[in-house]
Structure formats: C-alpha cells, structure tokens
Structure 1
Amino acid sequence: MVEFIIIAPLLLFVCFGTLQLVLLYQAKSTLDVAVLEAAREGAVNHGSMHAMRSGLARGLAPIYARQASAEGAAAALANAQADASNFSVITVLNPTPAAINDYAQPRYYPDEAATYTEIPNDSLMYRDASVPSTASSGMNIQDANILKIHVHYCYNMYVPLVNKVIYYAANVIGPIGTGGILTHEPARPDIDPYGFPKNGDALCKVKLADGIKTGRWPISLDSEAVVRMQSPVRASALNDSPNPTGD
C-alpha cells in the first residue's frame, strides 16, 4: 500500500501524459488533412482566404466532435470555425507577390459586370513553360499556378495537469509562483502576465491567470499543403479574410 501511494501520482501522470500525446498525434494528423482541404478550397475559389479558412474548419471539425449526432456535428463545426478564425494563421507561400506581379492581368467577367486582376489559369499545358527574362519571381506561369499554403494552428490541450506541464515546457516558462507549476502564477504579473515565456508564440500563448481560469492551454501545430490551382488566382481573394494577430 505504501509503495502504491508513492508511485500512484507518477503512474497517473504518465498515463495522462500518454493520453495527451496520443491526442496531439491525432490533432496533427487531422490538421494535415484539414490543411489539404483548405488548399483544395482555395484552388477552386481563386485562392480565397475566406474559402480556405472554411475548408480548414471543416477539416478540423473531428477534433471538436463530442457527440455522435447531428447536433454534435453542428457544435463541432461551430467550434472549429471559431478556432479557425481566432487561433489559426494561413500563409500563402505560393504564388508569391512577385509571381502575381509578373503574371496577373485584368480580366472582365460579363456575368458579374466586374474586372479582376488574376493569374491566367486556362490552357496551362500549351503556354510557354520558359521563364521570361522580365520575371522577377524566377518562375514560369505554370509554377505561378501552384498554390502552397502553411497553416499555424493553436490546439487546445485538455488532459488535466499534463496540458499545463506541456504548455510550460513548450514555452520554456521562466519565473513562476513559489509553489511551482500548480500555483497561481506568474510571479511578476505587473511585468508579464504571460509568465515570461522564453519561446512564447504570439498566437498560441495565454495569460497564465486566464489559463488557470478557463483551462485553455494551447500548443502550436504546423502543416503545409500543395495543390494545382483550378481557377485563376486573384490578388484580392488572397486577402479577403485577415489572420488573427494574437494580441
């Protein structure tokens, strides 16, 4: 009995830690699929950031599913949409601004009575594959029609105790309360309410007092996806949904 009492806390922590790591692996795998879905949405919607964020939310919904019902699915999607808007940053790595400047041209759409500046996407296999001498991007028009995105996502860890320990370890938290990681930190709230994170992520960090109150302890996950554009890239569409700043 004495031996069990001594080892039980450590054993419980190891079990909780294993569970949280499994959930992290599941979240990363889900994120990889979600980012690909986001890229596919962008490919058929002129590179629209809004469309990519919607695709990302649909892909992330399984992480938030708690009930196997229509109501549970709707709630999961709503939570995923909120986190996709507030706790994810989508960066378009390609086409670059230089590529857009090289190849974008105005095109008039009679059915919309509107003109958009976009990179032509039709008949790519028949277009000249050489790089023009005037192209500052250093790529041809076929490469300019490749959409590559990077997603930085804050996953909320929710296994008790372990979530806080991993958050502290990932952010290399400095000075804390006198009683260690279970106290009401930070030690110097007048200077830094985030607890002096040495590697603090601008988006995926929380004020320690808020973390204790809400139980939200996020960790950053990253993923990338590459797809061929199925519609012309529009410079305006790439900025139709601003990323959160983390302020």
Structure 2
Amino acid sequence: MRLIDHLLHPGGHLRRPLPVATTMAGRLVQKRKTRQRGTSLIEFSIVAVPILLIGLGSVEIAQWFYVKQAVSIALLQAARAGITQHAKPQVMETAFEHALQPLYASPGHSSADRLQRALARRAQLTGGPAWQMEILNPTPAAFHDFADARLGLSRETGLTAINNNYQAEQDQRYRAQGRIQGLGPRSGLSIYQANVLALRVTYLHEPVLPGMKALMRQLSKQTGSYADQAMARGGYLPISQELELTMQSHPVDWPALGNQKIIRQQAYESIQGTSAPPSPCHGLWCLDMKPFSAGSLPADPASLPGTSLPETGNPADSVGNPLPGGETGGASPDPGIDDLAVTPDDPACGVTLCCVDG
C-alpha cells in the first residue's frame, strides 16, 4: 500500500506521488507486520490447549470406564464362586484375579504373568494389597444368630456355618420361638438375609496419562482408609463396586486371608432396605383367592377320602441332618404354638405359600 497524495493539480490532473512519501509508506507497513508476528500462534494456543486437555481427559475417562466394567465382571465371577463354595475367600480370590486377566492381554506374554507383575508392583508402591474385597454379609452377628452346629460341613471344618436349606421352615420356627419377624437378636437380619453374600471390592486403577499419578497424590485425603492410602502413596485411582447374590451353599465363617485381600466387615445394611408391611394375601397364588368362611373346611381334614396328613417331623438338610428346633436337639418352640403356623407377614407368602387373614 502506498501513500498517495490525493490533492488535485490546479489543472485538474492528479499529482504524482512524491518519492519521500512512498518510502515512508513502505517503512510504516513493515513496522505493522513486525508488530503482528506471533499473533496466530497465541490464538492457536488459546484454542488448542483446552481441546488437547479435553481429548486427553476423554482417553483417561474411557480407560477408567473400561477397567470399571472389567472389575464388575470380575466381582460377579468371584461372587458366583463364593455362593457355590460356601463363601470361601481363597476361591473368590482366585476367581476374581482370573477374571482380571483380559485387562493384561498381550500377544507376546502370558496375561496371567503380566497381571501378577502389575499386582506386585502396586502392592510394593502402596504398602498394602493390590486390591481389597470386603465381605459385607454374612456378618459375625449373623453367624451367631443362625449358626447350625449339626451341619456336616460345620463338623468337618470346626467353623460356624449357617444352614442354607429349608429357609422358609427355619423362619417359621424362629418366629415360633419368639423372634420378632424371625430376626436375629444381634444381627437384626432374617434367615433369608443371612443367606445373602454381599461383597464390595476396591480395585486400584493406574492412570494412563503422565502426571495423573502426581495429581492423584495431591487430591488424596489423609485418612486411614485403604482407598485413600492407595491414592496418597501410589497415585492410583480407586474403583469401588458392590454386589449381592443369594447363597447356593451353606455360608461358613472362614478365617481372613493373610494377604488382607479379602476381609470381613462387622456390620451390614442391605441395599434393598426395609420393605413395607405386606398385604394379608399377595402373590400369584392369591389372585382369585376368596376368604375362608365357617364350614367351608371340614373340622378334620383326615376324614376326607383319599387324604393323608403330611409328616410333621423336622426336615433334614442335604447331608441328612435335621434342622434346628427338631427333636434331636436345639431349641424347641413353645408347645402352645403351632410349629408350622404362618402369619400374613411371612416372607414366603405369595411365593411358596398362600396366606390369608383369619
């Protein structure tokens, strides 16, 4: 751009630009170009840095969700092994770590070896176990309330065990013995809740981005919990998952493992909460049920043709041992109370029994 003298000549012609003015215009343009150097770089940095951080954060979040899903599957596998193997800690530990191997798959090395090396490194950095699983239920109080010393498994191991068989009949007997709604005096749980395996696992996720471990150390809280210590010492991000499954075998109060990978909690509160009082009759069996009236049933059911009364003896478990409260031992119910009396608030109403008022 050149500075042009736009003043007209008295004759009407344009004046020719002066050489001095042209030189000054060139110097002015050169100064303006020098002042604008680096402007594009600054603008790019303002926009690119946040986009780069968001992209890196997305990679870290995606990796975290992937590991969380794998930990959830591993916890499910550990719980499945536990409910079928009497909640044995060694069985659950093996099943959990075996299910974590897909996280360390490699074409050149064994995934099991890579997993063990990673767990050993985390244990060395944190000063504790590489992961920790808590047995939330059954609690020690539940074992005290519902222990059955006549189980063959209890006699073989010398440990306390809860009977998993005939839970509805057990609940009826506990109610007949005077327990309010069949709940244990120490645990506050029913026989159904005592036969639920509840687990909580805390897995240490190693951040993939550089500098994230240092950030985790700065954000950690100075408490004595396992998760906070792992963040403060190793910079790992804890992933916590919980799961409840119904036991398919007799729960046993096994001793804790020496490596502290699986520990037992002293108290437990079911995630299902406390339900409202049930209706007098509910469930599929009560859809078309009509109340019984006087004279609708014979006074003696045995007088009906082809009718035989069932045996009222105490049922036996899978190893042939009678349940608690039978004639062979244990506390006996009040003679004035029917041994098989069912109240409308019985948990089996609508499931295996049809219950009505009256």
TM score, norm. by length of structure 2: 0.50
Q: Does residue 91 of structure 1 match 2:162?
A: no
Q: Quick one: structure 1 residues 26 and 169, their matched pair in 2 at CA, closer, same or farther if it must change by over 3 Å?
A: farther
**Following TM superposition, by how much is the alpha carbon of 1:50 offset from its aligned partner in structure 2, in angstroms?**
2.2
Q: Quick one: structure 1 residues 80 and 55, their matched pair in 2 at CA, closer, same or farther if it must change by over 3 Å?
A: farther
- Superposed CA deviations along residues 42-70 of structure 1, whole A, max 9, x for unmatched, are 212221222222222122222233x146x
Residue number in structure 1 paired with 2:203:
153
Q: Does residue 17 of structure 1 match 2:57?
A: yes
Q: Quick one: structure 1 residues 38 and 80, their matched pair in 2 at CA, closer, same or farther if it must change by over 3 Å?
A: farther
Cα distance in 2, alignment partners of residues 81 and 125 from structure 1: 43
Matched-pair contact (CA < 8 Å) for 2:220–2:228: no
Q: Which among 219, 222, 244 is matched to residue 226 of structure 1?
A: 244
Further displaced range: 29-38 or 84-93:
84-93
- Superposed CA deviations along residues 108-161 of structure 1, whole A, max 9, x for unmatched, are 649x95433211122335433565628222222222110001112221112223
Matched-pair contact (CA < 8 Å) for 1:16–1:160: no
Cα distance in 1, alignment partners of residues 85 and 57 from structure 2: 41
Further displaced range: 141-150 or 127-136:
127-136
What is the letter of the counterpart of residue 144 of structure 2? N
TM score, norm. by length of structure 1: 0.69
Aligned CA RMSD, in angstroms, stands at: 3.3
Cα distance in 2, alignment partners of residues 155 and 199 from structure 1: 19
Higher-RCO chain (CA-CA 8 Å, sequence separation at least 6): 1
Q: Quick one: structure 1 residues 52 and 198, their matched pair in 2 at CA, closer, same or farther if it must change by over 3 Å?
A: closer
Cα distance in 1, alignment partners of residues 100 and 238 from structure 2: 14
Matched-pair contact (CA < 8 Å) for 2:133–2:261: no
Cα distance in 1, alignment partners of residues 250 and 156 from structure 2: 17
Cα distance in 2, alignment partners of residues 113 and 94 from structure 1: 23
Q: Quick one: structure 1 residues 14 and 168, their matched pair in 2 at CA, closer, same or farther if it must change by over 3 Å?
A: farther
Tell me, what secondary structure is at the counterpart of 1:231?
coil
| Identical-residue share of aligned pairs (%) | 25
In the alignment of these two chains, the number of paired residues is 208
Q: Does residue 50 of structure 1 match 2:100?
A: no
Cα distance in 1, alignment partners of residues 90 and 116 from structure 2: 15
Q: Does residue 205 of structure 1 match 2:255?
A: no
Give runs of aligned pairs for residues 93-242 of structure 1, distance below 5 A: 93-107=136-150, 109=152, 114-128=157-171, 133=179, 135-136=184-185, 137-165=187-215, 167-168=216-217, 170-171=219-220, 201-207=227-233, 217-237=235-255, 239-242=256-259
Matched-pair contact (CA < 8 Å) for 2:197–2:246: yes
- Structure 2: gaps (5+ residues): 1-39, 263-358
Cα distance in 2, alignment partners of residues 26 and 220 from structure 1: 14
Q: Quick one: structure 1 residues 157 and 141, their matched pair in 2 at CA, closer, same or farther if it must change by over 3 Å?
A: same
Tell me, what secondary structure is at the counterpart of 1:17?
helix
Higher strand share: 1
Q: Which has the larger radius of gyration?
A: 2
